[in-house]
Structure 1
Amino acid sequence: MHILLIGATGRNGTLVLTEALTRNHTITALVRDPTTTSTTLPPHKNLTLLKGSPLSLQDLLSAMQTPTAPDAIIITLNPRRLTDSPFSALDPNTPPALLHDSVSNTLQAIKTLNLPRAPKLVINSMQGAGASSKSLIFPLRTLFNHTNMKHTLDDHNAVDALFRADSNGGDAVGKDVDWVLVRPPMLTEGESLPVKVYDDEGSGVCWMPKITRRSVAGFMVDAVEKDDWNRSAPVITN
């Protein structure tokens, strides 16, 4: 399969890239500057690097035709922060709605190109967004809503809304594509481990779930290859 990867230089994105290449998929990675990615994204015969931004519709249109139309699009974007802590303030250069605007542009590009078959979207979301907020214990829910995490959570919720019918029953913006919103909880380092998959509400998830980044990467590529989770937002844990 051919995959367009948006967010390839991030901590999750590089692992998704490695996993997809290991499975012999071809990848086009849309990156800010291909000349600075040689250490994080080493050359590979199945990898095409393309300079651009998901905030540019024109860049996305180009990426979706280089070298060919994708079968799937994986988005692993995460807002840049001043430190590695998820509770750190956002980098002042980070667009306030990076995730929503990037996904919205991606949907618009798919519509504009009118491909014979729309690519599936697999998006790195987070536990706590959408219906999965019910699976958070109260202290975490409070923390997410009253710290710098709120900005990221609001952005993920805005992405979620793109794939849901509006309050008046109107069609979702993303109604014509298959999609999977992957909702991991606290991320840890380590090897890929068996993944437990829960429903959109995270029913049955333990109080303080965790998952390794490599496990998330493996599941996201699984979601490209399989139709098991199409049009759903599963919470995943180890």
Structure 2
Amino acid sequence: MRILLLGANGRTGTAVISEALQRGHTISALVRRPETLATYANNVSITTGSSLSKEDVTKAFASAPKSDPIKAVVSTLNNGRTSDNPWAKPTAPANLMADSVRNCVTVMKEYGVKKIVALGTVGVGSSKATRPWWFNWIIAHSNLKIAFDDHYAVQQALEAESSKDPALMWVDVRAVGLGNGEKKDVKEFGNEGQGAGWMISRKSVAAFMLDAVENSRWDGQTPVISN
């Protein structure tokens, strides 16, 4: 199937591209700087634009061939910072993920697309209580709070949309810390994450997100995953 990928030029996004192509899917990507996907130019349909623009999202949907229309959306967007340091300066709008997802869901309705899988994080919503106090303290007192608030806003937006349209199939994947290792078996820890580890490779996350696209097992859920 053809998948519209948001965040395609990020570290997890490129892992999704590689995994999707290996599975025989086709990829459409909406990115502000298409040159960052030069490696995939022959295998990915690239639309230049921003997911914060409904018009650009519509352009990405419209650019897919009628013989291979977009059937699902995957978002690996995150609120960037100048470094991985929790106190590093943010480089993206505070509401990047939630507003992008809202735009996508609006356009999905216009095109009859019902499946969206978003990359979230453990430590938001009901999973916050399963993280140690010091972890939650760092989130609350650093610039990570901006991203975590936005991740939770994504979940709330998806829940709100599905309450209006029960046919919307969404999965908000709550991953633990992301690393650059090889793909490994993924362990699931329910929607709260009790007992979840601390790290998971981006390649493992990519595989899980595509599993979520391909079947309905996690629809309407926030599965916590780690290696």
Shift of 1:215: 0.7
Alpha carbons of structure 1 residues 150 and 9: separation in structure 2 relative to 1, 3 Å: same
1:90 aligns with 2:79: no
Match in the other structure for 2:11 = 11
1:127 aligns with 2:125: no
Q: Distance in 1 between matches of 2:74 and 2:111?
A: 19
Letter matched to residue 60 of structure 2: A
Number of residue pairs aligned between Structure 1 and Structure 2: 224
Residues 133-212 of structure 1 correspond to what in structure 2 (within 5 A)?
133-164=128-159, 172=163, 175-206=166-197, 209-212=198-201
In the alignment, which of 41, 44, 50 is matched to residue 43 of structure 1? 41
Identical aligned pairs, as a percentage? 38
CA RMSD of aligned residues (A): 1.8
Shift of 1:188: 1.6
Q: Which is helix-richer, 1 or 2? A: 2
SS at match of 2:188: strand
TM-score, normalised via structure 2 length? 0.92
SS at match of 1:223: helix
For structure 2, the residue ranges without an aligned partner over 5 or more in a row are none
Contact 1:120 1:224 in 2 (8 A): yes
Shift of 1:66: 2.1
Contact 1:134 1:202 in 2 (8 A): no
Match in the other structure for 2:217 = 228
Alpha carbons of structure 1 residues 42 and 150: separation in structure 2 relative to 1, 3 Å: same
Contact 1:70 1:119 in 2 (8 A): no
Shift of 1:85: 3.0
Alpha carbons of structure 1 residues 37 and 114: separation in structure 2 relative to 1, 3 Å: closer
Match in the other structure for 2:108 = 110
Alpha carbons of structure 1 residues 35 and 187: separation in structure 2 relative to 1, 3 Å: closer
